[in-house]
Structure 1
Amino acid sequence: MNADAFFALADHLNAELHGAEILFSNLANESSDFVRLNRNRVRQAGHVRSTALDLTLIEGSRQVEGGCDLSGDPTEDQVRARRLLMRLRERLGHVPDDPYLSYSSERSESDRRGDARFPPAAESIGELVAAADGMDLVGIWASGDLAEGLASSIGHRHWHASASFNLDWSCYLEADKAVKSAYSGFDWDPATLRAKLAAMREGLHVMSRPARILEPGRYRAYLAPSAVAELMGMLCWGGFDLKSHRTHQTPLLKMARGERSFDPRIGIHEEHDRGLAPRFTSEGFPTPPRVALVEGGRFAECLVDARSGKEYGETVNAASDAPGSLGLDAGTLDTADVPGHLETGLWIGNLWYCNWSDPNDCRVTGMTRFGTYWVEAGEIVAPVKVMRFDDSLYHLLGDRLEDLTRERELLLSAETYDGRSTDSALLPGLLVSGIDLTL
């Protein structure tokens, strides 16, 4: 469904309203190619085309929500949408007042369409299979167009369209020995893909050596962007939303109080202008291009969604209480120079099973995963047996931080539970003087 068809459907529904009813119509449209690979061969390929309509019917301080799938046929879609509207009207009289009901009462319009350049899925996968010849590769490819629309009886008319690709894969040597990589974005570059596969071949060569078993303790380390993503994911879990701060449940409470801080080079932002997620909320509020969450190592702003904004009297600046387009500022270290600067220590490619071990101290625990190596004299010499770490982000992003890489990697979410996710993170790698391994 394109923008004109959506707005025509919304106008039809608005004409069906009674009295003081207010209607918000939200559309999610997806046209995606999915390919699953195993042993470097295509095992499953398909195309998904879906359109979902969500309606919010409001009268006074009451609201009800509901959704339905659309077929693409205008006549049939009008029938489905009208039936949904009638069911919502039947429910509206039976719900209590909502004290945190919040929506924009000001008319607004926007039309944003992202620019992307990547070949059809078949061509991209053909390049991947050819470049990974001889490797035991398993992974998933997702690409295509996403669109979101908002229309209301108040006068909101917003449309956001984007296109992207996301390749998430691992290459196995044997048993649990594997390396993992990802390549995603808007512009496809075969040279970038080949470089990532070449790095994976080198990693598998190292994996064939006897694994180094480390004793618990503190080790100098480099955390690649994929590992940093896991740490940022923990911060997104209650670190930046207004409600967690006002109820003193945020893991950054000591920072918010001015008792602790990150390194002054740490800047964390919600970058709404990156292009994947829309610049409007489902309630009609526009979002700013950028929200500073941490600036100069100190807490800056909270993310405020519509309901928290109403509850605490703050201006809405996000569609959700968790970042969807997170960015961590770059540093000055060239990625190619990391082994030399690391000298002796750990190269951590990925982390998993992360959780808070002491949220009051912003302390995270988790396991090392694919592509973790021991480095000596600036050279990667051996894989490392899986280890558990337990350390505070006040150290890893604070007093033990030595540098961040100049290059940042764009990592798109591979989640597809309710359609392809628009969440993303733009992250550098971290060089730290120590990370605590516990077992």
Structure 2
Amino acid sequence: MSNHLTNRHYLDILMDAALEATPGASTCSLHIAAEDTTFIRFNHARVRQATQVSQAYATVTLTQGARSADSTLTLVGDRLLDTAALLHAQAELARDLPLLPEDPYLLSPDTVVDTERDDAGTLPSASQVIDAVAKHAPGLDLVGFHASGPIVRAYADSRGQRNWHRVDTFSFDWCLYHSTDKAVKALRAGQHWDEAAWARQLAQGAAQLRLLGQAPRTLPPGRYRAYFAPSAMAELLGVLAWSGFGQKEQAVGTSSLTRLVRGEATLHASVQLSEDTGRSIAPAFTPEGFTGPGQVPLVVDGQHAGTLCSPRSAREFGLPTNGALAGESPQALSMAPGSLPEADALKALGTGLYISNLHYLNYSDRQHCRVTGMTRFACFWVENGELVAPLQVMRFDDDLLDLLGPRLIALTDHAEIHQDTNTYSQRQLGSITTPGALVAGFELTL
């Protein structure tokens, strides 16, 4: 019965039942987030946990004038029980709605825009993933977490709008452990499983793992030439996503990109950043029923070019909304690739730092876009384009606008997608797509 939870016909039945009962002059909407996921956890290249999770959450929203109220409940996959729960939630909202104060920034969709996306992927079965690990990782301490299956987002309202989004997707977040704090970390994600490609990625990680047994190179604080792998770049761009691109933050001056917005700083001319939902796995609509363009330019040729404007910000600042989520963080942040051949990145670096992963990132000075954090996992000292020794864990503190501006040397010619692997409550559809970056003067502080 739980398989109903990602079935379009079943969800349409529930939506129709709830929306047909919309009371009076109110507008009712229903947003559903569902998944049917296989989870496998590995340790020492062996299965430590395997389970299947089928779940769906439905949010019923009732709006009348400038008043709105919503209620979220868990669907169980039984048509009678789920319909009764939705109608009960709707009745409670109708009772409470007149008691609520008016919301001056409430904005509801004023046009009906239907969307549909149903992407079937080639996902691996649990046995295929387990067999691949057993075949390619013997003798390795592989620790990882695999999640795979369809994810659904659906929206419908009493105005007649219908939006459907179902994608098959997987993520395999794994590392090869050496000892103490030494490990090689990697992520394989997408809609099409390729065992051979994963095996090549694993072999590359195993080669780096052997280097981790050497004595680490301890560097004095200072500025160093560095190459950031796409995984490390995704961490840096993820910090910018916290507060950088939202209309509200930029309007009130609390955005970390304020200097860029004001023209006090510019990024390198090769930097192109956009919210690129059209080429991602993210839905083309919000839980409130707003849709937007497939791409929203944020930085063009190193210059500020746009913001993510949520419905509330649109109301507050008199602007059109562009399909941004309520928090105005990007769902599909994308940095365009550059011209440096990825295979030549270490050669172009010459001598300096190879940064594979970063962690504990946070702003040290949000207004000036200074970010601090730690190097992590397989980070190496490079000489003459060759990895020669692991890097002792170091803290950095640097100005990202300067790092991606005057100190950016080149971006690689290939961009990688890094899906959000967060599974708290439910799997996510967010992603960051980015190339690697060669920079001058990356600042290590201790």
TM-score (norm 1): 0.98
**Which secondary structure state, in structure 1, belongs to the residue aligned with residue 243 of structure 2?**
coil
Letter in 2 for 1:372: C
Match of 2:196?
191
How far does the alpha carbon of each residue in 1:312-356 deviate from its partner, in whole angstroms, 9 at most, with x for none? 121111332001111111011122211211111000100011111
Deviation of 1:150 after TM superposition, in Å, equals 0.6
Q: Structure 2 CA distance, aligned partners of 1:375 and 1:15?
A: 65
Give yes or no for the alignment of 1:55 onto 2:60.
yes
Match of 1:107?
112
Letter in 1 for 2:408: L
**Which secondary structure state, in structure 2, belongs to the residue aligned with residue 64 of structure 1?**
strand
How far does the alpha carbon of each residue in 1:152-196 deviate from its partner, in whole angstroms, 9 at most, with x for none? 011111111101110001111111111111110111112211111
Match of 2:354?
347
- Gaps spanning 5+ residues in structure 2: where? none
Give yes or no for the alignment of 1:143 onto 2:148.
yes
Q: Structure 1 CA distance, aligned partners of 2:354 and 2:280?
A: 32
Give yes or no for the alignment of 1:42 onto 2:47.
yes
Deviation of 1:7 after TM superposition, in Å, equals 2.6
Deviation of 1:61 after TM superposition, in Å, equals 1.1
Match of 1:71?
76
2:343 to 322, 333, 336: 336
Match of 1:181?
186
Give yes or no for the alignment of 1:400 onto 2:411.
no
Contact 1:294 1:300 in 2 (8 A): yes
**Which secondary structure state, in structure 2, belongs to the residue aligned with residue 75 of structure 1?**
helix
Q: Structure 1 CA distance, aligned partners of 2:228 and 2:187?
A: 15
Contact 2:324 2:330 in 1 (8 A): no
Match of 1:373?
380
Match of 2:318?
313
Contact 1:108 1:155 in 2 (8 A): no
* Larger mean Cα displacement after TM superposition, 1-10 or 301-310: 1-10
Deviation of 1:8 after TM superposition, in Å, equals 2.5
Match of 2:171?
166
Relative distance call for 1:229 and 1:275 in structure 2 (3 A) is: closer
Contact 1:116 1:186 in 2 (8 A): yes
2:438 to 414, 428, 431: 431
Letter in 2 for 1:294: V
Contact 2:18 2:86 in 1 (8 A): yes
- Gaps spanning 5+ residues in structure 1: where? none
How far does the alpha carbon of each residue in 1:186-222 deviate from its partner, in whole angstroms, 9 at most, with x for none? 1111221111111111111110000110000011100
Letter in 1 for 2:297: A
Match of 1:269?
274
Which portions of structure 1, spanning 4 or more consecutive aligned residues, are displaced by more than 6 angstroms? none
Letter in 1 for 2:378: G
Q: Structure 1 CA distance, aligned partners of 2:348 and 2:321?
A: 43
Q: Structure 2 CA distance, aligned partners of 1:436 and 1:107?
A: 51
* Larger mean Cα displacement after TM superposition, 329-338 or 35-44: 329-338
Relative distance call for 1:412 and 1:300 in structure 2 (3 A) is: same
Q: Structure 1 CA distance, aligned partners of 2:230 and 2:27?
A: 45
How far does the alpha carbon of each residue in 1:351-376 deviate from its partner, in whole angstroms, 9 at most, with x for none? 01111112222111110001110001
Identity of aligned residues (%): 40
Match of 1:235?
240
Q: Structure 2 CA distance, aligned partners of 1:271 and 1:129?
A: 37
**Which secondary structure state, in structure 1, belongs to the residue aligned with residue 80 of structure 2?**
helix
Q: Structure 2 CA distance, aligned partners of 1:29 and 1:369?
A: 34
Match of 2:29?
24
Q: Structure 2 CA distance, aligned partners of 1:397 and 1:327?
A: 15
Match of 1:364?
371
Alpha carbon RMSD of aligned pairs, Å?
A: 1.2
**Which secondary structure state, in structure 2, belongs to the residue aligned with residue 399 of structure 1?**
coil
Match of 1:203?
208
Deviation of 1:15 after TM superposition, in Å, equals 2.4
* Larger mean Cα displacement after TM superposition, 392-401 or 366-375: 392-401
Deviation of 1:149 after TM superposition, in Å, equals 0.8
Deviation of 1:105 after TM superposition, in Å, equals 2.4
Match of 2:304?
299
**Which secondary structure state, in structure 2, belongs to the residue aligned with residue 208 of structure 1?**
coil
Match of 1:3?
8
Q: Structure 1 CA distance, aligned partners of 2:244 and 2:374?
A: 21
Contact 1:111 1:158 in 2 (8 A): yes
Deviation of 1:235 after TM superposition, in Å, equals 0.8
Q: Structure 2 CA distance, aligned partners of 1:319 and 1:259?
A: 26
**Which secondary structure state, in structure 1, belongs to the residue aligned with residue 14 of structure 2?**
helix
**Which secondary structure state, in structure 1, belongs to the residue aligned with residue 168 of structure 2?**
strand
2:261 to 256, 263, 271: 256
* Larger mean Cα displacement after TM superposition, 281-290 or 132-141: 281-290
Q: Structure 1 CA distance, aligned partners of 2:23 and 2:196?
A: 59
Give yes or no for the alignment of 1:384 onto 2:391.
yes
Letter in 2 for 1:183: R
Contact 1:30 1:49 in 2 (8 A): yes
Match of 2:334?
327
* Larger mean Cα displacement after TM superposition, 114-123 or 134-143: 114-123
Q: Structure 2 CA distance, aligned partners of 1:105 and 1:416?
A: 34
Contact 1:339 1:378 in 2 (8 A): yes
Contact 2:280 2:431 in 1 (8 A): no
Deviation of 1:114 after TM superposition, in Å, equals 1.6
Q: Structure 2 CA distance, aligned partners of 1:58 and 1:395?
A: 46
Letter in 2 for 1:315: P
Q: Structure 1 CA distance, aligned partners of 2:280 and 2:360?
A: 30
TM-score (norm 2): 0.96
Kindly tell me the number of residue pairs found equivalent between the two proteins.
439
Q: Structure 2 CA distance, aligned partners of 1:319 and 1:129?
A: 43
Q: Structure 1 CA distance, aligned partners of 2:198 and 2:8?
A: 34
